[in-house]
Amino acid sequence: MEHLVWILGLKPSTGGSLKAGRTPSDSNAVITTAVMADLPVLSAMLSRLFESSQYLDDVALHHLIDALCKMSHEAMELAYSNRKLQTLLLGPLSELSSVPHGDVRQRQLECVLQILHSAGETLSHGWPLVLSIIGAVSDHHGENLIRIAFQCLQLVVTDFLPVMPWRCLPLCVDTAAKFGSQTQELNISLTAVGLMWNISDYFYQNKEKLCQSLSGDSTVFPDFPGTPNMPPFDKLWMCLYARL
């Protein structure tokens, strides 16, 4: 509810109602046209809600606050797991991978690193875009960009494999393998091999969980010649072995 009131730009008045507390020129208010059309209705509903709360006893007021907190928590969880929202935010960042200028790519990777530090555990649908940005760095980009990108990859492998959707695991393996095969930084190549070991250890330690996740659909994995009936979990291992 606090976030909603902030977005609406409302502030409590002396009478207990809500009034506009922000000018339209505030650059922090980024709201779509569709939402703007509903703002008067939402504002009126919030005002009536807060005005009526003065007539509630302590028990009823406690229940009201508890309900509002739950509603706010559910709304925030929905926002964090919104596929379209994550794609909307990360899509333009991913498009910068085609920009040839090194300073732009550096800022792009620094943004990815900041996203991982601040909200990596809530990415869910955004992992393919994040991994594609990290993996888009190659030998010709220079040592500095390779180091920043590899720093992002290290954070992904060490902290976020448990929250990464299983569909993204082959892409994560491919991204780590790219850094293992690059020739600009020998230390990074060797460390990338260690990350492959970390990934394999995650596969081994979470076999039961991964087998349950993979049982429904294995179309994300490539076909391996001569093994048409290979179980999905074995295909996941083969994705790793094929890149060593």
DSSP 138: -
Tens-digit pLDDT profile for residues 149-160: 999 999 999 999
Instruction: Measure Cα distances from 24 to 9, 33, 46, 154, 228 in Å.
Output: 9, 13, 20, 43, 61
**Residue percentage of the chain with pLDDT more than 70:** 77
Tens-digit pLDDT profile for residues 83-100: 677 888 888 899 999 988
Q: What is the pTM of this model?
A: 0.66
Quote the distance between the C-alpha of residue 186 and its chain's center: 30
pLDDT of residue 36: 58
Q: 90-97 long-range CB contacts below 8 Å, 24 or more apart?
A: 90/115, 90/126, 90/129, 90/130, 91/129, 93/129, 93/133, 94/129, 94/132, 94/133, 96/133, 97/132, 97/133, 97/136
Domain ranges of the chain: 2-80, 83-241
Specify the range with the lowest mean pLDDT, choosing from 28-42, 99-113, 132-146, 228-242: 28-42
* Number of other CB atoms surrounding residue 230 within 10 Å: 15
